[in-house]
């Protein structure tokens, strides 16, 4: 029996000249073409003399099963889809159907996937260069994806300042999803963030609307629209939507000299290897800032700033701050040592922003299993000790001595500070603190 073959073909956005040569060739080599009726209409010129199997919009599984059965009968089949067949397309489903029937690559029927221009790049090309920096796609279709999952992705993309392409933004029955997406994105993004809505790119009824995040829901948006939402630096100019790549951060102007402090061909001074030095410079220039304020300024967890302070050197001090990290595995030891530090202030913040500040005596804490219990006759506070990943000691001039416990993401779980008496730290407590620093920290710095 001759082996059949399935071509998984991405047709591109719609216009014949946006289809790849290989896609055309694959259709020419196929005896049967399977696809959604409207996509087959887009390529009717290529179907002469071929069997074509037209299926409805919701019959994706039927299309895959039909293609697999025909290939098993020895036929060469093209399963076609708009855009890229691997992007919200039928490639995954076809592989699943095949694998579930015991098929493995290289054994039995052949499979070749032919990429196509996806809606994302097709639509972007019609409005300028909105994808000039990191971007993501999110489908608002909740027919197969639970809404909480979609909402979480919107939230993460908003927080991460990604340019976002919304696929399946709205249909006759799904009107509320785009309104909800806008509400979520407005938490992190300005209302005047540029938005482009491209409808039927490279097809007969192609249209482009330029709008803003605030106003986008008033636009004409349907099943064949893709919504491109800019990031915090995207702008409109002369009717074009542009997301800059960041050249302005490095060069005085686009053709000009490298800016002071930057080096051609090297990471930006705020790159991985340099941003901590920038944080230390900021600490030198802003001595009254708290650790938390600095973390907010750089939009990083406080643990990252603690790390930047730890790496300070004589030539590169962190202003009035010095820090050291507790040796791994010694986090509980420093807690024990803190029993000799007299009165302490514990600060715990919850995710909603409530802050508890508790004055306690070292004797007030105990450990039970995963929990660290801070309790006396006035309060009971239970901290999940299993979240503690690292511990840090921090000095700020003569007025602050603190212990920070951070989780795996470098967020603060809680912190403890020596309490001042009449404006001064108690000398005995400071001595015990310094002793713990010398005994328990990695490469203690004086």
Ligand X SMILES: C[S@@+](CC[C@H](N)C(=O)[O-])C[C@H]1O[C@@H](n2cnc3c(N)ncnc32)[C@H](O)[C@@H]1O
Q: Which of 101, 105, 74, 103 is nearest to 4 (CA)?
A: 74
Using rule CB under 6 A, residue 83 touches ligand X: yes
Using rule CB under 6 A, residue 84 touches ligand X: yes
Choose, by CB under 6 A, the member of 136, 151, 223, 268 that binds ligand X. Answer: 223
Count, residues near ligand X per rule CB under 6 A: 24
Q: Which of 347, 353, 295, 360 is nearest to 321 (CA)?
A: 295
Chain-centroid distance of CA 290 in Å reads: 27
Using rule CB under 6 A, residue 230 touches ligand X: no
Using rule CB under 6 A, residue 130 touches ligand X: no
3-state secondary structure of 257: coil
Restricting to residues 342-381, which ones interact with ligand X according to CB under 6 A?
none
Which residue, 9 or 416, is less far from ligand X as judged by CB?
A: 9
Helices 91-100 + 60-72 axis angle, to 10: 50
Choose, by CB under 6 A, the member of 7, 167, 236, 433 that binds ligand X. Answer: 167
Which residue, 67 or 291, is less far from ligand X as judged by CB?
A: 67
Pairs from 22-26 (Cβ < 8 Å, separation ≥ 24): 22/114, 23/114, 23/116, 26/78, 26/112, 26/114
3-state secondary structure of 18: helix
Tokens found for residue 176: 């509320």
Cβ at position 10, least distance to ligand X in Å: 7
Q: Which of 362, 332, 344, 323 is nearest to 441 (CA)?
A: 323
Using rule CB under 6 A, residue 119 touches ligand X: yes
Which residue, 46 or 228, is less far from ligand X as judged by CB?
A: 228
Binding mask 171-210 for ligand X (x = CB under 6 A): ---------------------------x-xxxx-------
Stretch that binds ligand X, among 119-127, 230-238, 289-297, 324-332 (CB under 6 A): 119-127
Contact by Cβ (8 Å): 241, 194: yes
* DSSP assignment letter at 161: T
CA distance 313 to 328: 22
Cβ at position 162, least distance to ligand X in Å: 17
Which residue, 126 or 270, is less far from ligand X as judged by CB?
A: 126
Choose, by CB under 6 A, the member of 70, 138, 157, 224 that binds ligand X. Answer: 224
Which residue, 201 or 295, is less far from ligand X as judged by CB?
A: 201
Binding site for ligand X (CB under 6 A): 13-14, 81-84, 87-89, 118-119, 122-123, 167-168, 198, 200-203, 223-226
């Amino acid at each position: 029996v001759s082996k059949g073959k399935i071509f998984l073909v991405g047709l591109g956005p719609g216009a014949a000249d946006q289809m790849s040569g290989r896609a055309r060739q694959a259709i020419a080599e196929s005896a049967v073409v399977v696809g959604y009726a409207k996509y087959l209409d887009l390529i009717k010129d290529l179907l002469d003399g071929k069997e074509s199997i037209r299926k409805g919009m919701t019959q994706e599984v039927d299309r895959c099963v039909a293609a697999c059965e025909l290939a098993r009968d020895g036929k060469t089949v093209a399963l076609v889809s708009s855009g890229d067949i691997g992007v919200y397309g039928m490639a995954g489903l076809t592989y699943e159907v095949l694998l579930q029937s015991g098929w493995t690559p290289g054994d039995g029927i052949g499979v070749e996937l032919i990429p196509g221009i996806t809606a994302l790049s097709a639509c972007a090309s019609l409005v300028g260069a909105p994808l000039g920096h990191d971007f993501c796609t999110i489908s608002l279709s909740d027919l197969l994806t639970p809404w909480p999952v979609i909402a979480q992705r919107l939230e993460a993309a908003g927080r991460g300042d990604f340019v976002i392409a919304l696929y399946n933004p709205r249909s006759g029955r799904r009107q509320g999803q785009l309104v909800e997406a806008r509400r979520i994105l407005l938490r992190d993004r300005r209302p005047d963030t540029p938005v482009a809505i491209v409808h039927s790119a490279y097809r007969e009824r192609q249209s482009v609307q330029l709008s803003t995040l605030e106003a986008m829901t008033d636009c004409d948006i349907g099943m064949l629209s893709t919504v491109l939402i800019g990031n915090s630096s995207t702008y409109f100019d002369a009717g074009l939507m542009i997301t800059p790549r960041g050249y302005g951060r490095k060069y005085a102007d686009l053709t000009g000299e490298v800016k002071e402090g930057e080096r051609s061909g090297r990471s930006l001074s705020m790159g991985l290897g340099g941003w901590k030095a920038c944080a230390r410079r900021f600490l030198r220039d802003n001595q009254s800032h708290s650790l938390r304020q600095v973390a907010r300024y750089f939009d990083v967890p406080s643990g990252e700033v603690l790390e930047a302070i730890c790496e300070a050197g004589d030539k590169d001090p962190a202003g009035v701050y010095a820090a050291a990290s507790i040796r791994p595995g010694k986090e509980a030891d420093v807690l024990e040592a803190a029993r000799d530090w007299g009165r302490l202030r514990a600060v715990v913040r919850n995710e909603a922003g409530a802050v508890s500040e508790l004055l306690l005596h070292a004797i007030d804490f105990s450990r039970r299993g995963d929990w660290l219990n801070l309790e006396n006759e006035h309060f009971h506070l239970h901290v999940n000790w299993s979240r503690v990943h690292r511990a840090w000691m921090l000095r700020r001039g003569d007025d602050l001595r603190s212990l920070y416990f951070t989780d795996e993401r470098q967020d603060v779980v809680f912190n403890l500070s020596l309490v001042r008496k009449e404006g001064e730290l108690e000398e005995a407590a400071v001595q015990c603190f310094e002793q713990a620093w010398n005994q328990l920290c990695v490469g203690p710095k004086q």
